[in-house]
Amino acid sequence: MTPGTNTMNNNDTILKVEHLSMRFGGLMAIDDFSFEARRGNITALIGPNGAGKTTVFNCITGFYKPTMGMITLKQRDGDHYLLERLRDFEITKIAKVSRTFQNIRLFSGLTVLENLLVAQHNALMKASGYTILGLLGMPAYTKASAAAIDKAKYWLDKANLTERADDPAGDLPYGGQRRLEIARAMCTGPELLCLDEPAAGLNPRESAALNTLLHSIRDDGASILLIEHDMSVVMEISDHVVVLEYGQKISDGTPDHVKNDPKVIAAYLGVEDDEVEQIEEQLDEGRI
């Protein structure tokens, strides 16, 4: 398999990041970073600590405004959106990109079901005629709220949380909270789901459950972009891996390609630049 091509689904691009730069004062957190994510793929963004992965995420999802660069999202129906021009909530509402957070951000005092209903806020808001028709008890709103509960049930089932639907979200175990956050992001009806370290802190069993959930999300038609530290998770589930170090892209391709890229090995093992060639030689000889 050559880098850059993929056998899954089509080769349609969903997210295109071009020359993205983000500067915090004197620090260049991301420096001229470009990559593409293809529709129907699980794209992983990896790199050592402090490489700028979460910063890239925050730029894509509008929590930071990039200093330079263009982020284009192409929807299924062909519409293009320039994400750096949208406000953060519009990126979810209009461009249909949703995200989760590295440190889980659930509405811990609301029940699991309510968390999933809040995620459908915009659709329900429209159906309730911006609250006015809903207050009058119009049938359109009743129907919409029933549909919202059905959608929530669907994702509860997928995330294996149906039993806990009426418990407060803060009461779930850690793995359940991770899955609920992903289910909540899916309830906004995204085309691209951005996950910030979904497997962090999970035990092997929860990790396996997460992989199943991510695969079923991809098979449902949403594309996934994820940051991950756990190499076993990355190698197992992603179709395409982009490696970031010190704000710059050092490798881009299939998991197998990236795994054997000497630059990546150097970045992860902390080898001096001039030793990279040496390692490459060793690789060729099959010693590593």
Other beta carbons within 10 angstroms of residue 46's beta carbon come to 26
If the CB atoms of residues 148 and 241 are measured against another protein, the closer one turns out to be 148
- In angstroms, give the least distance from the CB of 211 to another protein: 23
Residues 31-70 that bind another protein (CB under 8 A): 61, 63
Pick the closer one to another protein by CB: 43 or 58.
Answer: 58
147 makes contact with another protein (CB under 8 A): no
Whose Cβ is closer to another protein: residue 107's or residue 268's? 107
CA-CA distance, 151 to 155, in Å (whole number)? 6
| 159 makes contact with another protein (CB under 8 A) | no
Dihedrals phi, psi of 116, to nearest 5 degrees: -75, -25
Q: Is 191:78 a contact under the CB 8 Å cutoff?
A: no
Residue of 18, 114, 206, 230 that binds another protein (CB under 8 A): 114
**DSSP states of 233-273 as a string?**
HHHHH-SEEEEEETTEEEEEE-HHHHHT-HHHHHHHHT--G
Pick from 54, 188, 207, 251: which binds another protein (CB under 8 A)?
A: 188
154 near another protein, rule: CB under 8 A: no
User: Which of these, 9, 4, 1, lies nearest to 224 by C-alpha position?
Assistant: 9
Residue of 189, 192, 187, 200 whose CA lies nearest to 227: 200
Alpha-carbon gap, residue 192 to 42, rounded angstroms = 10
- Residues 82-101 contacting another protein, CB under 8 A: 88-93, 98-101
Q: Which residues bind another protein (CB under 8 A)?
A: 61, 63, 88-93, 98-101, 105-111, 113-114, 117-122, 124-125, 128, 131, 134-135, 149, 153, 162, 165-171, 184-185, 188
